[in-house]
Amino acid sequence: MSNSIAERHQIILNRLKEQGFVNVSELSDELGVSLVTIRKDLKVLESRNLLYRTHGSASLTDPYITDRNISEKEKIGAKEKQQIALRAIDFIEPSDSIILASGSTILELARQLTSISQLQVVTASLNVAQILNVNPNIETHQLGGIIRKSSNSAVGPFAERMMKSYSCNKLFIGVDGIDNDFGLTTTNALEASLNQVMIASARKVFVLADSTKFGRRGFGKICDITDVDVVITDKGISGSMVKLIESTGVELVIA
């Protein structure tokens, strides 16, 4: 296919609007030009603040996430987080032993855990523990350690040692980013390390992530996409990302 520079740039921007991200090698094949040419195109578009480049790809929004206070996170996409939490409830049964990590979507899930009896819950989040502790049908196990001020949750070696003493049916975890190449991430390395221990302590792993988390990445890697069992998100997820998740064999649930 032969395209002028302007035509290539428009095609790239159209793909970004449709998918939220583009891949250098796929664009090279589609447009019939070299990888070097595509990289130059992306560099020009980035200089005009029309996209953000990463290794081998580009996205509409800055893929690198900065840490935010959980009170601020709660206000972002509140309706979507509630829908995701309500859908996650369908996977929790009476007498389950579950792990609730930390984050605003997990906090919303804790608020919805009102009608399920005889639950045992292990959590790193002080906010989650406070919500659950008033429920007579839930036995809450609070992890200790260093308390992150932004998330109001425990991290560090002591929290990890405590977590290793538990074996649970299911883990429900929130993430700051889901990237095709880098996997699941959070903004804090200590939290990522604790999340890895949680994954090892659970038989089944559920990721609760609103659609804005896809194509983004935080500082600390938690795991690869294929290390989880179910991803629950909202209907804002792009069609290309749906195909990508489903191609890994991970179950995708759209609330």
- Tally of domains in the chain: 2
| Average pLDDT of span 121-145 | 95
Q: Are residues 164 and 50 in the same domain?
A: no
**Is 64 within a domain?**
no
91 plus 141 within the same structural domain: yes
User: Are 124 and 170 within one domain?
Assistant: yes
Structural domain that includes position 52: 5-59
* Residue-level pLDDT at 53: 83
Instruction: Tell me the pLDDT band of 72, cut-offs 50, 70 and 90.
Output: low
Q: What is the CATH number of the domain that holds 53?
A: 1.10.10.10
Q: Which is higher by pLDDT, 96 or 30?
A: 96
CATH no. for residue 198?
Answer: 3.40.50.1360
Q: Please state the pTM of the whole predicted model.
A: 0.76
- Shared domain for 93 and 39, answered yes or no, is no
Span 190-221, pLDDT tens digits: 999 999 999 999 999 999 999 988 888 888 99
> Which residues make beta-bridge pairs with 179?
183
Q: Is the pLDDT of residue 244 over 90?
A: no
Q: What is the tens place of the pLDDT at every residue in 36-55?
A: 999 999 999 988 888 888 77
pLDDT given at position 238: 83
Close Cβ partners of 224 (under 8 Å, ≥ 6 residues apart): 183, 184
Same-domain status, 241 and 131:
yes
Are 32 and 75 found together in one domain? no
- Tell me if 144 is assigned to some domain: yes
Given 17, 33, 59, which residue is the final one in a domain?
Answer: 59
Q: Are residues 43 and 74 in the same domain?
A: no
What is the overall mean pLDDT for the chain?
Answer: 89
Q: Is 128 or 69 the better-scoring residue by pLDDT?
A: 128
β-partners of residue 122 are 99, 141
Same domain, 47 and 144: no
